[in-house]
Structure 1
Amino acid sequence: VHPRQPYGGQLVFAAFSGSHQDAIAKGMKYREDKHMHRWMVPYLPIDPHDVGREYDADVIRINSQSGKGGIAYILEQNYGFHIPVKMREEIGYMVKGVSDHSHKELSPAEVYETFKNEYINKFNPIDITDATFRKNSTYKGEDGYTVDIHVNIAGTEYFFTASGNGRLDAVSNALRQSKLYSFDYTFVTYAEHALEAESNSRAAAYVAIADANGKVYWGVGMHEDIILASINALVSAINRLNQVSHFITK
């Protein structure tokens, strides 16, 4: 039948428009949060399951017209990532650019690969290979930590020690101990969550840093340990900044 034929058409439940995707995603989330029995979702007068259709395959479809809400919905529903609100617009433009360049719709797997390749666990040219923490109450009270890190920077191994107001701040200060390289950035925001419900699940962390001109760079870290996930996110953000602005200079 015609792709837009009611009930049976391939595209009858599809939403490509960013505003439609955002409304559908919010409606689905509202039903979940409120434990609603009746079907009430914008732009979807009936539950696609009632006629043998699937949400992720038939409803939120990603192409060059898609919006940040739909792309964030795909990453959350299929892969467990709760993308920070301030990060969604950047990811949306990036994924739409990939779709526009390739002149095709992107599957959820292709959306995830694009997201992973750009943001997750980027360890070049900086890679922290080991980090050991200890409490340091003499540094700004109860939140103080001291860290020993082994780090590979552009193929050369270094060992640094520093303290900070929290673990991530300590790691950042340790990186700044390098005399050959400049780490000129400031923290903007941080978020974290578990990717799965199990007790031994992986964790995801999101770090945003800003360069000297105020431009923001995001990094995402994944690891079974939430602390190591946060370190991976910081390193990923620094390496993304480096790719764009070459801020690491001898």
Structure 2
Amino acid sequence: MKNTFSKYATADKFKLSDRTWPDKTIERAPIWCAVDLRDGNQALVNPMDHERKMKMYNLLLAVGFKEIEIGFPSASEIEFNFARHIIENDLIPEDVVPQVLVQAREHLIEKTFAAMKGARKVIVHLYNSTSVAQRRDVFKKSAKEIAELACDGVRMIQRHCDLHPETEWVLEYSPESFTGTELDVAADVCNAVIETWKPTPEHKMIINLPATVELTSPNIFADQIEWMGRHLARRDSIILSVHTHNDRGGAEAATELAILAGADRVEGTLLGNGERTGNADLITLGLNLFTQGIDPELDFTNLPEIVKIVEQCNQMATHPRHPYAGELVFTALSGSHQDAIKKGLDAHKSEQRNHWDVPYLPLDPNDIGRSYETTIRINSQSGKSGIAYILETRFGFKLPKQMQIEFSRVIQKIADETAQEILPEHVWQAFSSEYIEQDSGYSLKSFNYHSVDERGEKIGITAKIITPTGKEVEIISEGSGPINAFANGFRNQMHAKFSLRDYEEHTLSSGSGALAAAYISLVSDADQEYYGVGQDTDVIKASIKGLLSAYNRMG
């Protein structure tokens, strides 16, 4: 890029040496206003038709938004008709306030009031651009003239409010491109609007400070918000709102710092859809509060369904790494991460902890309608714990630790050869082929055992096995237990050389006829360990099958 950076000016700096926001913490949710139906909609390549707007509107209601910017009624017939539809069909709950955007032009304001006729309460959102660039290049007006333009718009709105006293009208004013406006100019324009409207503590108005274009780091935006909060007239009659965009990637951070700096209200969209790089994502902001033990006053308990509807309405896919909402955000592919997650989840469950503190998972996936099954996925970077987690949670097999290491080599080889993700069903196929449904080797046909002496210290067994060549062989032997007796007889009759090292078993299901899984490890005369797996409704037979499975793998 060589020297092209030199054409960009550093953002104007101002000193706020007595800033207080760094020492504060967010203790409650702000007032939320969803602008998906307006700001989000105008950013779409294919704007929403009536059906998609209704689907989005109903979703916003279900999530719990109490202020919803429903559109720009004077901009198009679709917008106008949508407003009339939800009013005439009584589709606005009593605790929800619709918001509509309008410019400071008489005919646009008149049409906006016509669109909202009959509503119980309405926020009329008036805006005009105040930035240096727009004053200079677009409007060719002075700061004083821009302030007068805004006040003219307020007076027009006041006249229409007087014509419709049956509705409670709330004014919201935005100095558009606030971040490109000198602070003293922004304050002068806002204060002129405030003194024209004359809000009171009982009938407040909204001053919305938008980062229409994000030009600075979030800390500077927070300083700007705190400064404005100190310099606004009638502060006790003002709801201070912010509306951030994501041009520098800091929309959510800027919003959170703005709340610390005194913002009472936040505008944004679900998943951050909006002009250029988008708006602040209200899902991210809400769940950030949630993970700090603060009620966001929004319901994201079925986030996958919310994401699905937003994608349908916006006709845009969600990035798989999008915070909280993306397909992969709870997924660990690294072996060390998988190991930590598995151990953390096991500890959380076994100790019945009240507070969530699991490695690499800042949020319990179950709280937003996700499952633990997707937290661990397998590829060439995965380790034994992730593979063991898949086998346990999806298929019920709890592998001994040393066997986890052994089987991970099998999966690692497949992953290296395919260079692709290994899906759970493929993990199972490999496990079954390696240990249970072996293509060749010895298999058990029948097995019985009995006590040889009265004290039961010696056990006798009678078994029939099928050899790799298909021959049936009967084994009769004795030992200290059924497994030991079978091992003795198998070694003697098949001239096999091995010793038993490890044995574990557990049930795979509950109830009568439940399957049991048994894990047997054998050590060859070359001191190599091999695991085998058996499953049967009889745990002893499962163990014998496991022994044969291990011996088959020795060959």
The two structures have a TM-score, normalised by structure 2, of: 0.41
- C-alpha distance in 2 between matches for 1:55 and 1:8: 15
SS in 1 for 2:500: strand
| 1:201 paired residue number | 514
Q: Identify the structure with the greater helix proportion.
A: 2
- C-alpha distance in 1 between matches for 2:358 and 2:544: 39
Residue 123 (structure 1) shift = 7.4
476, 480, 490: which one pairs with 1:161? Answer: 476
- C-alpha distance in 2 between matches for 1:29 and 1:99: 26
The answer on whether the counterparts of 1:121 and 1:232 sit within 8 Å (CA) in structure 2 is: no
- C-alpha distance in 2 between matches for 1:160 and 1:72: 35
What do you get for the CA RMSD once the two structures are aligned? 1.7
488, 508, 527: which one pairs with 1:173? Answer: 488
| 2:416 paired residue number | 100
| 2:456 paired residue number | 142
| 2:449 paired residue number | 133
What's the CA shift string for 1:156-194, capped at 9, x where partnerless?
22222111111011111222342xx42011111111110
What letter corresponds to residue 137 of structure 1 in structure 2?
A: D
What letter corresponds to residue 16 of structure 1 in structure 2?
A: L
| 2:466 paired residue number | 152
The answer on whether the counterparts of 1:119 and 1:219 sit within 8 Å (CA) in structure 2 is: yes
- C-alpha distance in 2 between matches for 1:47 and 1:105: 24
The answer on whether the counterparts of 1:120 and 1:220 sit within 8 Å (CA) in structure 2 is: yes
- C-alpha distance in 1 between matches for 2:524 and 2:487: 14
What letter corresponds to residue 73 of structure 1 in structure 2?
A: Y
Is 2:549 the partner of 1:236?
A: yes
What letter corresponds to residue 169 of structure 1 in structure 2?
A: N
What letter corresponds to residue 104 of structure 1 in structure 2?
A: Q
| 2:497 paired residue number | 184
- C-alpha distance in 2 between matches for 1:223 and 1:42: 36
Residue 109 (structure 1) shift = 1.5
The answer on whether the counterparts of 2:478 and 2:488 sit within 8 Å (CA) in structure 1 is: yes
- C-alpha distance in 1 between matches for 2:513 and 2:466: 28
What letter corresponds to residue 35 of structure 1 in structure 2?
A: Q
- C-alpha distance in 2 between matches for 1:170 and 1:185: 14
- Kindly, what percent of the aligned residue pairs are identical? 38
The 5-angstrom pairing of residues 79-118 of structure 1 reads 79-118=395-434
- C-alpha distance in 1 between matches for 2:523 and 2:324: 49
SS in 2 for 1:207: strand
- C-alpha distance in 2 between matches for 1:73 and 1:125: 28
What's the CA shift string for 1:61-108, capped at 9, x where partnerless?
111111111111111111111110111111112112212211211121
- C-alpha distance in 2 between matches for 1:223 and 1:75: 18
Which aligned runs of 4 or more in structure 1 are off by greater than 4 angstroms?
none
- C-alpha distance in 1 between matches for 2:409 and 2:438: 20
Structure ranking higher on relative contact order (CA contacts 8 Å, 6+ apart)? 1
What letter corresponds to residue 146 of structure 1 in structure 2?
A: G
Are residues 223 and 121 of structure 1, via their aligned partners in 2, closer, same or farther at CA, if it must alter by over 3 Å? Answer: farther
- C-alpha distance in 2 between matches for 1:225 and 1:121: 18
- C-alpha distance in 2 between matches for 1:219 and 1:143: 26
SS in 1 for 2:376: coil
What's the CA shift string for 1:23-48, capped at 9, x where partnerless?
11111111110112332211111112
| 1:217 paired residue number | 530
The answer on whether the counterparts of 2:433 and 2:439 sit within 8 Å (CA) in structure 1 is: no
SS in 1 for 2:456: helix
Are residues 32 and 162 of structure 1, via their aligned partners in 2, closer, same or farther at CA, if it must alter by over 3 Å? Answer: same
What letter corresponds to residue 529 of structure 2 in structure 1?
A: V
- C-alpha distance in 1 between matches for 2:511 and 2:412: 33
Give the unaligned 5+ runs of structure 1: 243-250
What's the CA shift string for 1:186-231, capped at 9, x where partnerless?
1111111101132431000000001111001110001111011001
